[in-house]
Amino acid sequence: MSPRTTAQFEEIRLKSREKIILAAMELFSRQTYHNTSIADIAKEAGVSKGLIYNYFDTKEDIIKGIVEYMMAMGDRIMVESRNEDDPRQELREMIRQTFAFIEEQGHITRLMVPLALEIEQFSFINEIIEEKSKYYLGRLVTVLERMGYEDAEMEAWTLGLMLDGIPLDYSILGARLPIKKLEQYLYKKYNL
């Protein structure tokens, strides 16, 4: 067996970190942040406490890791949907990728709901969320301005709230939510 490459080690590292983050999300959603210990997370993730401390110094660092993990998904959608030539196509792709995420990773949204209710107590997280929210809203405003919306900022707020709320409803209602119809409705609403 040949030795692992640097890329292979990095992939193992990223997967281990993700495993810890997902285990923490699961536990925080079931038993809250305050009732979850590092030992609980290690057991849920199937790793040692020592491995967790290789990636995170404290339980608060895990919270920060969870938020960064979620924001990275949003960032990926923003990067992959960018289309300088056609704002309608850009918005369509943002919506398409958001709905694909909801359908493929809906369980992650379910895990975030209880944590979101506790997030106010972590001021360092609020700064990250506020910065990212401004970026995402700004992107939507720019796209909607390019599409000719008179009040692009309010339209961006409305669309952003819908795109944030649909995953929440999907995590509660599951298959009862007409997810495909909602996606098609947004395409029609924005003439995409």
For residues 42 and 87, membership in a common domain is answered with no
For residues 176 and 125, membership in a common domain is answered with yes
Domain-terminating residue out of 27, 56, 85: 56
For residues 87 and 174, membership in a common domain is answered with yes
Per-residue pLDDT in tens (0 to 9) along the chain, 192 residues = 667 777 776 777 788 899 999 999 888 888 888 899 999 999 999 999 999 999 999 988 998 898 888 888 888 888 898 988 999 999 999 999 999 988 887 777 777 766 666 767 777 777 777 888 899 999 999 999 999 999 999 999 999 999 888 888 887 788 899 999 999 999 999 999
Q: What is the pLDDT of residue 114?
A: 67
For residues 74 and 162, membership in a common domain is answered with yes
For residues 1 and 71, membership in a common domain is answered with no
Cα 167 from chain centre = 10
Q: What is the pLDDT of residue 21?
A: 92
For residues 16 and 92, membership in a common domain is answered with no
Q: What is the pLDDT of residue 1?
A: 62
For residues 43 and 75, membership in a common domain is answered with no
Core vs surface per residue 54-92: b (16+ CB within 10 A) or e:
ebbeebeebbebbbebbbeebeebbeebeeeeebeebbb
For residues 38 and 6, membership in a common domain is answered with yes
175 dihedral zone (left: phi>0; alpha: psi -120 to 50; beta): alpha
Closest among 129, 125, 133, 131 to 61, alpha carbons compared: 125
For residues 41 and 74, membership in a common domain is answered with no
For residues 72 and 42, membership in a common domain is answered with no
- The SS3 call for residue 111 is helix
- The SS3 call for residue 3 is coil
- The SS3 call for residue 83 is coil
| CATH code where residue 19 lies | 1.10.10.60
What is residue 24's DSSP assignment? Answer: H
174 dihedral zone (left: phi>0; alpha: psi -120 to 50; beta): left
| CATH code where residue 118 lies | 1.10.357.10
Domain-terminating residue out of 10, 28, 56: 56
Q: Which pLDDT tens digit goes with each residue over 24-77?
A: 988 888 888 889 999 999 999 999 999 999 999 998 899 889 888 888 888 888
For residues 121 and 145, membership in a common domain is answered with yes
For residues 182 and 102, membership in a common domain is answered with yes
Domain count, the chain: 2
Question: Tokens 């209880």 identify what position?
Answer: 114
User: In terms of residue numbers, what domain contains 14?
Assistant: 1-56
The reply to whether the predicted model has a pTM over 0.85 is no
